[in-house]
Amino acid sequence: MKTLRVPEATVSRLSIYSRFLERLDKNGITTVSSGEIADGVGVSPAQVRKDLAYFGDFGTRGVGYNVKDLLKYTLKILGLDQEWPLAIVGAGNLGFALCTNRSLSIRGFRIAGVFDNNSTRVGKRIGNLEIKPLAQFPEIVKKENIRIGVIAVHTSLAQEVADIMVKSGMQAILNFSPATINVPDGIEIRNVDLSIKLELITFNLGLRTAQNL
Amino acid sequence: MKTLRVPEATVSRLSIYSRFLERLDKNGITTVSSGEIADGVGVSPAQVRKDLAYFGDFGTRGVGYNVKDLLKYTLKILGLDQEWPLAIVGAGNLGFALCTNRSLSIRGFRIAGVFDNNSTRVGKRIGNLEIKPLAQFPEIVKKENIRIGVIAVHTSLAQEVADIMVKSGMQAILNFSPATINVPDGIEIRNVDLSIKLELITFNLGLRTAQNL
C-alpha cells in the first residue's frame, strides 16, 4: 500500500466517502462511479479518483467501484477494521454527550472508560459505564488496552489530564478543550474546536453581507 | 478585498492563525514573522504567506507582521468583528455542553436561545438562559436577530428541526447530528462530525501498527 505521506485532507475525505458508501450499501446499491461519489459528498470526481489512488488501484474503467468492496477497503485504510476503545476524562455535559454520541458508536468507537475527579460524579453511571475516579485511569486503560484518550475537562485542567494520559501510555489524545496541550514527540494530539466550523459560516455570511447578496 | 473563492482550508487556517495571534497579543508580543506563525500552528511559512495573500498585502519584508493589526484583520475577515447570536435546538447533554462551551464564548459567539420539545426540560435554565419550547423558535430568532441555528437533537429529529430553522429564516445551520440534512439552495449547512478527527488518529495509529513503529 502506498500509504505514506497521505495528506490529512485526503484522510478526512476518505472518512466522508466511507460514510457515503455505507449509505449506498444500506440502500442496496452495488456499484458507484467516482462521479456519483463526488456528487454525493460535494467534491470533484477528479478529487475522488486522486484521493483513492493514494491507496491503490480501485474500480474498473466504465463500470465504477463495487460499493461493498470499496466500503470495506476505506474502513480498513482508516484503521476501522479493528476496535478502538476510548477513555474519556471529564464526565460533565460534554463527557456525557460524548459517551452517548451516535456519531462515535456508528463508526465503531466504544467508550471503554470514563473518569472524573468530582466526587459528586464518581460512581454514577452513564449508560452501562460507571464514572471512575481519575486515580484509576492508569490501571483501567492498561486492562482495557486503551490507546486513545479524550479530554473533556475544563481548560485549566486539560494539560494535567494530558500528562496523566501520556504517563499511562496513551498514544493519541483527542482534546475538546480550547487549551493548547503540550505532549512529547511521538504522541499524537488532535484538537476539536467546536467554533472552527462556525467561523467558516461567519466568514461566508460576512462575505454575503458585504456583497449585499 | 480579494475574498472570492478562498479555499475552505485557508479560512480554517485563518481561524487557527487568529487564535495564535491572540495568544501572542496576550503575552505582550508585538511583531511576528510568517515563520513564527508557521512554527506556532504547525504549517509551513509559505502556507502562512499564501493564505494571508488571499486577503491583501500584509507585513513588512524583514520586519514581519504587527500582531495587533493582523489579529484585528483576521477576525474581521472571519466575520468576527460583529456579534453572531446562535439558537440551539436540543437541550440534552450536547446542547448543555454547547451552551457552556468555552471555545464558543472565547470567540465571541453568544447563545441567544435554546429550545427543546421535552416537557421535562422546557422552563429549566442553562446559566442565564431559559430553555424554551420549540414552538417559540420563529418568534425568538426574529426578535433576537439570529441567523445561525445549531442542531443538537437526536438523528431522527434533525431534518424536522432543520426545516423549522429554514422556515424561520436561518441562513446557516450547524448540524451536530450524524443525519444527512437537506436544505434549500442558499442556506449553508455545516456538519460537525465528532468522529472525523478520531479517524485521522486511527488512520495514523493503524499505519504505525502496520509499520511496527
What does the DSSP assignment read for chain B? ---TT--HHHHHHHHHHHHHHHHHHHTT--EE-HHHHHHHHTS-HHHHHHHHHTT---SBTTTBEEHHHHHHHHHHHTTTTS-EEEEEE--SHHHHHHHT-HHHHHTTEEEEEEEE--TTTTT-EETTEEEEEGGGHHHHHHHTT--EEEE-S-HHHHHHHHHHHHHTT-SEEEE-SSSPPP--TT-EEEE--TTHHHHHHHHHHHHHHHHT-
Q: Tell me how far apart the alpha carbons of residues B48 and B37 are, in angstroms, rounded to a whole number.
A: 7
Name the pLDDT band for B3 (thresholds 50, 70, 90): very low
- Residue A88 and residue A168 in one domain: yes
Q: What is the pLDDT of residues B79-90, one digit of tens each?
A: 999 889 999 999
With respect to residue A136, please indicate whether it lies within any of the assigned structural domains.
yes
pLDDT more than 90, % of chain A: 71
> Quick check: is A200 in a domain?
no
Give yes or no for residue A3 having a pLDDT over 80: no
Quote the DSSP letter at residue A50: H
Total structural domains within chain A: 2
Based on the fold, state whether residues A187 and A102 are members of the same structural domain.
yes
pLDDT digits (tens, 9 = 90+) for A68-77: 999 999 999 9
| Between B118 and A212, the higher pLDDT residue | B118
Q: Are A105 and A170 in a shared domain?
A: yes
| B177 and B159 in a common domain | yes
**B184 and B124, same structural domain?**
yes
- Boundaries of domain holding A114: 84-191
* B71 and B93 together in one domain: no
- What are the pLDDT digits (tens) for B131-155? 999 999 999 999 999 999 999 999 8
B205 to A101: CB separation less than 8 angstroms, yes or no: no
Whether residue B91 lies inside any domain: the answer is yes
Same domain for B66 and B25: yes
Which residue among A28, A48, A77 closes a domain? A77
Residue A72 maps to a domain: yes
> Does A99 reside within a domain?
yes
pLDDT of residue B42: 83
Q: Identify the residue among B105, B174, B199, B204 best suited for mutation to test binding to A, counting A beta carbons within 10 A and taking the highest.
A: B199
Same domain, B120 and B176: yes
From the list B82, B84, B83, B20, the residue with the least C-alpha distance to B51 is B20
Kind of pairing between the strands at A125-126 and A31-32? unpaired
Q: Is A83 on the interface with B (CB under 8 A)?
A: no
Q: At B137, list the grid cell.
A: 423558535
A124 vs B contacts (CB less than 8 Å): none
**What average pLDDT does the segment B51-62 reach?**
82
For residue B9, count other CB atoms closer than 10 A to its CB: 12
Q: Looking at chain B from residue 6 to 65, which residues have their Cβ under 8 Å from any Cβ of chain A?
A: 6, 8-9, 11-12, 14-16, 23
Question: Which of the four pLDDT bands, split at 50, 70 and 90, describes residue A211?
Answer: low
Cell of A126: 452513564
Give the tens place of pLDDT for each residue, A146-203.
999 999 999 899 999 999 999 999 999 999 988 889 999 999 999 888 888 999 999 9
Q: Is A114:A126 a contact under the CB 8 Å cutoff?
A: yes
Last residue in a domain, options A77, A98, A120: A77
Task: Report the DSSP beta bridge partners of residue A116.
Answer: A133
Q: Give the A:B interface size as CB pairs under 8 Å.
A: 183
CB within 8 Å: A205 and B94: no
Is the same domain home to B32 and B100?
Answer: no
> What do you get for the CA distance between the two ends of chain A, in Å?
47
Distance of alpha carbon B198 from alpha carbon B204, whole angstroms: 10
> ipTM more than 0.90?
no
In this structure, is residue B32 part of a structural domain?
yes
* CATH number of A30's domain: 1.10.10.10
Distances (CA, A) of B110 to A62, A162, B80, B85, B114: 51, 29, 12, 5, 11
